[in-house]
Amino acid sequence: MNYFNPGFTWYESLFGPSNYAETLAAFPIVLQGQGANAPFTNIGGLDNTWVQGRRATRFFINDNLAWTHGAHELRFGTNTRLLRLNDYDFG
């Protein structure tokens, strides 16, 4: 008997400003520290306006084979999973 079960899942969790022009008009600069000894070394830029979040795609393949011959039974199988993560953090 052969049992084959493929699968697929996908989700997206991205967030960011819905309107970049309004975001830049309200707060046009970004104050960002680059370490404990330099609290405001990067002034200005678009660091907080880029999309951030994650996309995850998963693929599954389960394939099992059971073979009975007389008093003997042989079983073989594989359970393969592929996980693809795309992280978005440009700021």
What is the per-residue pLDDT across 5-61, written as a single tens digit (0 to 9) for each? 999 999 988 877 777 778 777 766 665 555 555 555 555 555 555 667 888 999 999
Q: Given 3-state DSSP classes, what are the helix, strand and coil percentages for the chain, each rounded to the nearest 5?
A: 10, 60, 35
- In the chain, the largest separation of any two C-alpha atoms, in whole Å, equals 79
Reference 77, options 63, 90, 56; nearest CA is: 63
pLDDT recorded at residue 90: 59
Number of domains in the chain: 1
Query: Helix, strand or coil for residue 38?
Result: coil
Domain that includes residue 28, residue range: 2-89
pLDDT recorded at residue 42: 52
Amino acid, single-letter form, for residue 44 = G
pTM of this prediction? 0.50
pLDDT recorded at residue 58: 94
pLDDT recorded at residue 5: 92
